[in-house]
């Protein structure tokens, strides 16, 4: 089954979406499908017909620009493999809940792993 | 190239399945997509259930609620009806992977995948769920206690799918509880999951359904423990008894996540603590 992730990266050249584990464990491949954070490594292409898919390129060019700049400025990045997925998930959380508690942020980001810096710092940004 | 049929109604879905019972149903694909390249390659004909409206959503019905098989765990944990009547199902839903997984993973997929570690499965056992199954012959009902018949085997016949699950309301004054012991709270395949539901009458346990995952080849009711505490007053002795019986009756396995001994030990403690929590 052809994966949405491969179509984005190879078919469309949208390489902002990363592949970490390819098994649903790391969150690096997160995109929004109809506004919901979804792992593109686990989505077969045929289920995407008629759906709105947003990648990090899309939200970075639009409303999430300021948020992204703040994210980069506070030093959230080492190798950067996890960053697009974290940005998308955090952005989706802030759309639903503009002032999440530490606990809410931690839970929302539990599916996004960072093997360089450790996820624990992320909710502060 | 794979051929995916995407039916728009339940009638259309069962017609396809009747013609070709080897079609693989796809829902959230959180299990299917991690089966490895070879398995995915063999899966050349699939039937996508996500576009079938009859399989979707949560409804209140006479005497209980019905949850469509393609309802996601995100929808389940958000549902006011589920949270009010069956908080342990909402709680289990919050334990299935992280946010992204919960947005896609479905209740029907959890059931049909039939992992002994599936988090929602002991809850469905404790709540005495009824599975409504659809096939070319129409609908039939299977008590959930008869749904799992062996390691990753279910009572579904070729060409049948899970249509929905019915949860009968518990009587007034009933208790329910859920506990997952994993390596981390979210994102962990369970080492032990336990769910229970029941009723106290005149200070004694009149009814108890106790179920566990990851302690046998399939999710199981702990019938010896249930039997042992029926008619007893809740308290430390009853809790000890339930824990002991539970540990005795299960047949856990050693695997990469845990050992059989640890699982039996964890089960005994979890059951003891949960039965202790039943208010007298
Ligand atoms: C990173 C990660 C973490 C996870 N964490 C957990 C966890 O903590 N707890 C847990 O329980 N699970 C977990 N899982 C497993 C998985 O998410 C669940 O089992 C999920 O409920 C499967 O649902 P699905 O809709 O994605 O199933 P799919 O992958 O679409 O299907 C699974 C199987 O069921 C069949 N099927 C699906 N729907 C039906 C139906 N209606 N009728 C008949 N057959 C059907 C499919 O053919 C397939 O064989 C995790 C998975 C991943 C990748
Ligand atoms: S690449 Fe999709 S979750 Fe890791
Ligand atoms: S910065 Fe390297 S994985 Fe997060």
Residue B48 has pLDDT above 60, yes or no: yes
Band (pLDDT 50/70/90 cuts) for residue A59 is very high
From residue B171, alpha-carbon distances to A53, B142, B167, B209 in Å are 45, 22, 12, 14
Report how far residue B213's alpha carbon sits from residue B122's, in angstroms, rounded to the nearest whole number: 6
Q: What is the share, in percent, of chain B residues with pLDDT greater than 70?
A: 95
Cβ-defined contact of A44 to B98 (cutoff 8 Å)? no
Specify whether the CB–CB gap between B210 and B221 falls below 8 A. Answer: yes
Which parts of chain B are beta strand (E)? Answer: 3-5, 24-26, 45-48, 58-61, 64-68, 130-135, 138-143, 148-150, 153-154, 161-168, 174-181, 192-201, 204-213, 220-221
Summarised one tens digit per residue, pLDDT across range A17-35 is 999 999 999 999 999 999 9
> What are the two backbone dihedrals, phi and then psi, of residue B184, each rounded to the nearest 5 degrees?
-135, 165
- Whether residue A17 contacts residue A55, with contact meaning beta carbons closer than 8 Å, is answered with yes
**Under an 8 A CB cutoff, do B98 and A111 touch?**
yes
pLDDT, tens digit, for every residue of B105-140? Answer: 999 999 999 999 999 999 999 999 999 999 999 999
**What ipTM was reported for this prediction?**
0.93
| Rounded distance from Cα B121 to ligand 1 centre (Å) | 12
Q: Is A19 exposed, middle or buried (0-12, 13-18, 19+ CB in 10 A)?
A: middle
Task: Give the domain B3-168 fold.
Answer: 3.30.465
- The stretch B82-97 carries a mean pLDDT of 97
Average pLDDT over residues B247-261: 81
Question: Going from the N-terminus, what domains does chain A have, and what CATH number goes with each?
Answer: 4-117 (3.10.20.30)
Q: pLDDT value at position B177?
A: 98
pLDDT of residue A13: 97
Q: How confident is the model at residue A71 (pLDDT cuts 50, 70, 90)?
A: confident
What's the whole-model pTM score?
Answer: 0.95
Compute φ and ψ for B261, nearest 5 degrees: -65, -45
| pLDDT tens for each residue of B146-199 | 999 999 999 999 999 999 999 999 998 899 999 998 755 444 455 799 999 999
Q: Would you call B31 an interface residue with chain A, using a CB distance cutoff of 8 Å?
A: no
CATH architecture of B175-278: 2-Layer Sandwich (3.30)
Rounded Cα distance between B150 and B132, Å, is 20
Q: Where are the domains of chain B?
A: 3-168, 175-278
Give the closest residue to B198 by CA, choosing from B163, B180, B171. B171
């Amino acid at each position: 089954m052809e994966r949405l992730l491969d179509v984005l990266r190879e078919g469309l050249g949208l390489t902002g979406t990363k592949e970490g584990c390819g098994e649903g464990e790391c969150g690096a491949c997160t995109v929004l499908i109809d506004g919901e954070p979804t792992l593109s490594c686990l989505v077969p292409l045929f289920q995407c017909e008629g759906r709105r898919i947003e990648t990090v390129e899309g939200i970075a060019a639009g409303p999430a620009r300021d948020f992204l700049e703040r994210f980069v400025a506070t030093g959230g990045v080492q190798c950067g493999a996890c960053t697009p997925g974290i940005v998308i998930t955090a952005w989706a959380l802030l759309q639903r809940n503009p002032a999440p508690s530490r606990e809410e942020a931690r839970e929302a980001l539990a599916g996004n792993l960072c093997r360089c810096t450790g996820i624990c710092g992320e909710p502060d940004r | 190239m794979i051929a995916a049929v995407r039916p728009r109604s339940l009638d259309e879905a069962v017609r396809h399945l009747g013609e070709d019972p080897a079609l693989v149903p796809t829902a959230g694909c959180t299990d299917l997509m991690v089966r490895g390249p070879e398995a995915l390659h063999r899966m050349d004909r699939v039937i996508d259930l996500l576009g079938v409206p009859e399989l979707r959503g949560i409804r209140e019905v006479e005497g209980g609620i019905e949850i469509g098989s393609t309802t996601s765990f995100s929808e389940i944990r958000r549902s006011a009806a589920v949270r009010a009547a069956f908080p342990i199902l909402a709680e289990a839903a919050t334990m299935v992977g992280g946010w992204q997984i919960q947005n896609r993973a479905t209740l029907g997929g959890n059931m049909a995948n039939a992992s002994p570690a599936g988090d929602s499965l002991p809850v469905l056992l404790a709540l005495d769920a009824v599975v409504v199954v659809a096939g070319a012959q129409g609908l039939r009902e299977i008590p959930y206690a008869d749904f799992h018949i062996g390691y990753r085997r279910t009572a579904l016949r070729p060409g049948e799918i899970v249509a929905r699950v019915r949860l009968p309301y518990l009587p007034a004054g009933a208790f329910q509880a859920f506990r997952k012991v994993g390596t981390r709270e979210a994102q962990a395949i369970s080492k032990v999951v336990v769910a229970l539901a029941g009723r106290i009458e005149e200070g004694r346990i009149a009814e108890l359904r106790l179920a566990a995952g990851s302690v046998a080849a399939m999710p199981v009711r702990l019938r010896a423990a249930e039997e042992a505490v029926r008619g007893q007053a809740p308290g430390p002795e009853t809790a000890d008894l339930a824990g002991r019986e539970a540990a005795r009756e299960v047949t856990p396995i050693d695997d990469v996540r845990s050992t059989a001994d640890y699982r039996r030990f964890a089960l005994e403690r979890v059951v003891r603590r949960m039965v202790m929590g039943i208010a007298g």
